[in-house]
Amino acid sequence: MADYKGIKGFKVQSLSADPAASQAAGGAWSSGGNINTARGQTTGAPQGTSTAGLIFGGAPGDVAITESYDGTTWTEVNDLNQGRYEAGGGGTQAAALAFGGWGPGSAQDETETWNGTSWTEVSDLNVASRGLASCGTQGAALAIGGGRTPSETTSATVEQWNGTSWTEVNDLNTARKYFPGAGTVTAGLAMGGSSNPAGPGTQALTESFNGTSWSEVNDMNTARRSNSGFGTQAAALTMGGDTAPTTAVTESWNGTSWTEVADLASARTTSASGGTSADGLIAGGYVAPAVINISEEWLAPAAFKPIYEGQVYYNTTSNALKLTTKSISSGVWASGTAINSGRQGQGSAGVKTAGMIMGSGPVPAGRDQTEVYNGSTWTESGDLNTGRGGRISGWGTITAGVAAGGENGTLANAEEYNGTGWTAVTAMNTGRRNAGSAGTQTAGLIVGNPGADATSEEYNGTGWATGGTLNTGRSSLGGGGTLAASIMSGGEIPGSTTTPNTETYNGTSWTETGNLNTTRNAYGSSISGTTSNLLIFGGAPMASSPYMTETEHFNGTSWTELADLATGARTQGGLGTGVSSVSAGGAISGDSAATVVEEWTAPIANETVTVS
């Protein structure tokens, strides 16, 4: 006879490590052996590994010391012929290349080769350089940018080594120094740096080299200089560096974009490094106020389970049942493409990759412009028939939207959008502005109005009917959801005060639920969110107060504070859901109408399943 588990149960995969988005995403740093001579501004063999590393040169002083690593212990070996720091390097522990750098007293052009035992001087660079990036092997390397003589101006010059001599090739697009390289002479990568010859500055720029010319590709997430890095053009890492202050952040490059992965244990700048995205090493460097002798080893699993949303598994190492899901708590805001026209008090509808904003204040007659968004570009579309602002209510989708009410007086009229243009439809029973809204084009809801208004109206695609009454009348509230399951919170009540009160609607009546953590009105919200997954952002605690950056998420029971907006705003448009949202425009100072856009993303993450 089958048991209950056999009838009702399901198989759960057992994994020794959590799934990861990439090999590098599963990697981690661990402590390595200490180098014998603490130093910064040193150089490593870029194609070394965590068990076969080589570092040479450094500061303070014009250090000539070379050290070799076996995965446990650093051993001093024969010195460079020319002591120097901020040099470039190529090759492996057994066959390395050192070129350029500073010391003594000037930028250097000397090149030396390492045969596993000693250094030999060979042909010089065409132009002496310090703080340059580098990549390649002992027989084929690139010397990239840096501070070039005679004035040490930040340079875009690139030279290629063929094993015998150096030849200038095509320049970088952006001159810079104090940055690392990765890859080969036919597939190179340059990451970050400083383009300010008179001071530090930082760059997030990444450029790739195809053997002939350089192309700008996607930027790093964290701009930095004096960072370290290694790998290939298709799979690289950069770590540490000066971001004012020093950072431990590590980023992985997959040939297209950068992703933050496990941090260094010790934040640092000007460290030697070498390896691949699966096996690497960083050693020495500078941590205020002194140089350090610490090394760390990077290892990523040879095999990994790809991450995908919805998988359930048992981690045998941590003895935990886990679920791969969108991690709301780890969500962050990032800059998005600006809207074409600055506006505030606009309505909005749709989601992050297919949304729109319509109308605007505070001009007396309001504005009629509509802009649609595909996740990367805003495009002006058909205008509203009636210009309006302060605040318009909008809901629905990019092909079936509704705009209702607003300020031009206090409007009762409504319009529908079909993906191309707007058509006037039956007016509401009550003129409204600063109202909350939710739903679809054939099942919508609008609620609230200035004063103590607690009434709502429901729209069925043809006409309006009276809906349930809020427990607390208010205006300048917001929320989202559907007609049968919506949520509204915050807002202004008589006396120019705001409320944290939150209420949910079941299609018939309103029920009070958990209050906001931060009282506010006139904020943005993820209009297509649900009663168990809604995001609100910005707003103001009082009509005349400084505008807010705080973000909160509702999980069906309570509100949780999350990562803040970069720019405080009120009366902005909001698109999306609790895991993927857009804040567009709004007032960022007084009644100024902004074009600023920020995008919210909750990443996929592995989370432990808990039972209460």
Q: In angstroms, what CA-CA distances link 85 with 55, 99, 315?
A: 11, 10, 46
pLDDT means over runs of 10, the chain (612 residues): 56 89 92 98 97 98 97 98 98 98 94 98 97 98 91 90 98 96 98 79 94 97 96 97 94 95 97 97 95 97 89 94 94 95 93 95 77 96 89 96 89 95 97 95 96 94 97 95 97 87 98 96 95 96 80 97 96 96 92 91 92 66
What per-residue confidence (pLDDT) applies to 444?
Answer: 98
Is 319 a domain residue? no
Domain total of the chain = 2
247 and 361 in a single domain? The answer is: no
Is 606 a domain residue? no
472 and 574 in a single domain? The answer is: yes
262 and 133 in a single domain? The answer is: yes
SS3 for 124-164 is CCCCCEECCEEEECCCCEEEEEEEECCCCEEEEEEEEECCC
List the one residue out of 200, 197, 272, 187 whose CA is nearest residue 235. 187
Is 450 a domain residue? yes
Q: Of 251, 280, 299, which residue constitutes the final position of a domain?
A: 299
User: How many CB atoms neighbour CB 307 within 10 A?
Assistant: 18
Is 316 a domain residue? no
Q: Of 299, 323, 342, which residue constitutes the final position of a domain?
A: 299
281 and 357 in a single domain? The answer is: no
Question: What is the distance between the alpha carbons of residues 575 and 585, in angstroms, rounded to a whole number?
Answer: 12
111 and 204 in a single domain? The answer is: yes
Question: What is the distance between the alpha carbons of residues 135 and 463, in angstroms, rounded to a whole number?
Answer: 68
Is 306 a domain residue? no
Question: What is the distance between the alpha carbons of residues 552 and 600, in angstroms, rounded to a whole number?
Answer: 12
Tokens of 596: 């600023």
Partners of residue 540 on adjacent β-strands: 521
Q: Of 275, 299, 323, which residue constitutes the final position of a domain?
A: 299
**Per-residue b/e over 529-555, b at no fewer than 16 CB within 10 Å?**
bbbebbbbbbbbbeeeeebbbbbbbbe
| Residue 129 φ then ψ, to 5° | -150, 150
213 and 79 in a single domain? The answer is: yes
364 and 418 in a single domain? The answer is: yes
Is 10 a domain residue? no
What per-residue confidence (pLDDT) applies to 191?
Answer: 98
What per-residue confidence (pLDDT) applies to 198?
Answer: 57
What per-residue confidence (pLDDT) applies to 156?
Answer: 96
Is 16 a domain residue? no
Q: What is the residue type of 137?
A: T
Question: What is the distance between the alpha carbons of residues 284 and 38, in angstroms, rounded to a whole number?
Answer: 6
Question: What is the distance between the alpha carbons of residues 449 and 434, in angstroms, rounded to a whole number?
Answer: 6
For the CA atoms of the chain, what is the radius of gyration? 30
Is 551 a domain residue? yes
Distance linking the first and last C-alpha atoms of the chain? 32
Partners of residue 321 on adjacent β-strands: 314
434 and 509 in a single domain? The answer is: yes
Domain limits for position 575:
332-601
293 and 355 in a single domain? The answer is: no
398 and 448 in a single domain? The answer is: yes
Question: What is the distance between the alpha carbons of residues 499 and 471, in angstroms, rounded to a whole number?
Answer: 12
357 and 211 in a single domain? The answer is: no
Coil vs helix vs strand at 329 = helix
79 and 194 in a single domain? The answer is: yes
CATH number reported for the structural domain that contains residue 511 in this entry: 2.120.10.80
Q: What is the residue type of 243?
A: T
